[in-house]
């Protein structure tokens, strides 16, 4: 079983839709959960991070972590064509060196 699993998509939605992106993981030691956005041929850009379980909201973005199910989600409200990118989940245990494990990324297309 992979440490982090993420459906690569692609996911295509109309402008204004609510987007739901998800990852599952197997390592119960993970405590830090991040979502990155990556445009083509660019470096990942941190969108949101959460420590342990719970929800976090930032503008149109909401991150959820359910440690009991080993499942994390990112919701994008009122999606825009500019949200079209690859979304990477990432997570890390509290090991000092902060080795971060990434999911494969979900490619999102928001159609105008």
- Chain residues binding another protein by CB under 8 A are 32, 34, 36, 41-46, 49, 51, 88, 90, 92, 95-105
CA–CA distances in Å: residue 86 to residues 30, 63, 67? 22, 16, 24
> Is there a contact between 92 and 100 (Cβ–Cβ < 8 Å)?
yes
Q: How far is the CB of 82 from another protein (least distance, A)?
A: 18
Q: How far is the CB of 86 from another protein (least distance, A)?
A: 10
Decide whether 24 or 79 has the Cβ nearer to another protein: 24
Give, as one character, the DSSP assignment of residue 83. Answer: G
Q: How far is the CB of 11 from another protein (least distance, A)?
A: 17
């Amino acid at each position: 079983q992979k440490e982090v699993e993420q459906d690569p998509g692609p996911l295509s939605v109309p402008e204004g839709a609510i987007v739901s992106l998800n990852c599952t993981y197997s390592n119960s030691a993970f405590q830090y959960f991040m979502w990155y956005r990556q445009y083509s041929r660019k470096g990942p850009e941190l969108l949101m991070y959460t420590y342990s379980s719970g929800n976090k909201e930032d503008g149109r973005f909401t991150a959820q972590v359910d440690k009991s199910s080993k499942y994390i989600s990112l919701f994008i409200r009122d999606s825009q064509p500019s949200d079209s990118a690859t979304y990477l989940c990432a997570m890390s245990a509290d090991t000092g060196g902060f080795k971060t494990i990434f999911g494969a990324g979900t490619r999102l297309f928001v159609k105008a």
